[in-house]
């Protein structure tokens, strides 16, 4: 693992696939021009609309999203995480899939979101992800990127389940991805503290791309894509507009924190 710059992309995706991909390409290009070698896109980066509309277009969204990620990674010679897009599985269901692609355009690893957001939010909005999304059955993977460290995947609502991240740290994770489309209501109180907690308790870097603003109907997201270091320090925060959070990933900082706070070695119940 070497020192490098990572970027967490912040978008306002809508129900227009091509428009979203144009926005994503512009932000990837901006990240690369600023020196980023690892770029994370948020959940729903390629499509964010009504679930019925997403299901109707799922095949096209899945194909175009994968093609886009592989093309961008190869063109810019960087590693890119597509933080969540629908992949149809039949019977009116989809997997919410995160895909990691390497600089040569090859798929490195994928993860199908296991925790589904079925919540009545106090602001009056109701979310039932399970109506169209089929939960994944496997714990998220680690990808041992030689220069970038051991990368652990997750998606949005997963951040509320610390056992998932403990699994990733036990598998050797050094950098955790938390791509999200956090609701505006829950995000204002919970987003930053949850991202910091996952970093602190696992002494890992966390790269958390995000959706921001209004997308359709009443759907509004919190924003504040961020990168947090293993001590829990917020290194970069994208605020509430589309843009980037960029920060260095430093192996020396990771080693320092893990020496000073060796909590992973002090676990009693494993």
- 43 flagged as catalytic: yes
% helix, strand, coil for the chain, step of 5: 35, 35, 35
Q: Given the residues 37, 54, 66, 113, select the one marked as catalytic.
A: 113
- 188 flagged as catalytic: no
d(CA 104, CA 12): 28
- 241 flagged as catalytic: no
Q: Given the residues 37, 64, 156, 204, select the one marked as catalytic.
A: 156
Q: Is 172 left (phi over 0), alpha (psi -120 to 50) or beta?
A: left
Domains within the chain, CATH numbers bracketed: 4-259 (3.60.110.10)
* Tokens representing residue 233 in the block: 């320090």
Q: What is the pLDDT of residue 123?
A: 81
Per-residue pLDDT of the chain (270 residues; tens, 9 = 90+): 999 999 999 999 999 999 999 999 999 999 999 999 999 999 999 999 988 899 999 999 999 999 999 999 999 999 999 999 999 998 889 999 999 999 999 999 999 999 999 999 888 788 999 999 999 999 999 999 999 999 999 999 999 999 999 999 999 999 999 999 999 999 999 999 999 999 999 999 999 999 999 998 778 999 999 999 999 999 999 999 999 999 999 999 999 999 999 999 999 987
Model pTM? 0.97
**Mean per-residue pLDDT over the chain, rounded:** 96
Share of the chain above pLDDT 90, in %: 93
195 burial via Cβ count (<10 Å: 0-12, 13-18, 19+): buried
d(CA 195, CA 101): 23
d(CA 231, CA 261): 9
Q: Given the residues 43, 64, 66, 112, select the one marked as catalytic.
A: 43
Q: What is the pLDDT of residue 72?
A: 98
């Amino acid at each position: 693992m070497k020192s490098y710059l990572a970027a967490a992309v912040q978008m306002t995706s809508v129900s227009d696939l091509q428009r979203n991909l144009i926005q994503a390409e512009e932000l990837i290009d901006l990240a690369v021009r600023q020196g980023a070698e690892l770029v994370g896109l948020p959940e729903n980066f390629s499509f964010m609309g009504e679930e019925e509309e997403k299901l109707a277009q799922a095949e096209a969204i899945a194909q175009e999203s994968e093609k886009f990620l592989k093309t961008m990674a190869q063109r810019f010679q960087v590693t890119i995480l597509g933080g969540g897009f629908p992949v149809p599985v039949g019977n009116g269901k989809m997997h919410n899939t995160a895909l990691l692609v390497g600089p040569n355009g090859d798929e490195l690893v994928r993860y199908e979101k296991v925790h589904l957001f079925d919540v009545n939010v106090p602001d009056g909005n109701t979310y039932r992800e399970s109506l169209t999304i089929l939960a994944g059955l496997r714990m998220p993977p680690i990808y041992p990127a030689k220069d970038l460290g051991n990368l652990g995947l997750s998606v949005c609502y997963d951040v509320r389940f610390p056992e998932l991240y403990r699994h990733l740290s036990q598998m050797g994770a050094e950098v955790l991805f938390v791509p999200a489309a956090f609701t505006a209501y829950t995000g204002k109180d919970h987003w930053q503290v949850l991202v910091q907690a996952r970093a602190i308790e696992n002494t890992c870097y966390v790269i958390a791309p995000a959706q921001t603003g209004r997308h359709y109907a009443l759907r509004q997201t919190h924003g504040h894509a961020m990168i947090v270091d293993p001590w829990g320090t917020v290194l970069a925060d994208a605020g509430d507009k589309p843009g980037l959070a960029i920060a260095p990933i430093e192996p020396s900082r990771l080693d320092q924190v893990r020496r000073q706070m060796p909590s992973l070695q002090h676990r009693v119940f494993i």
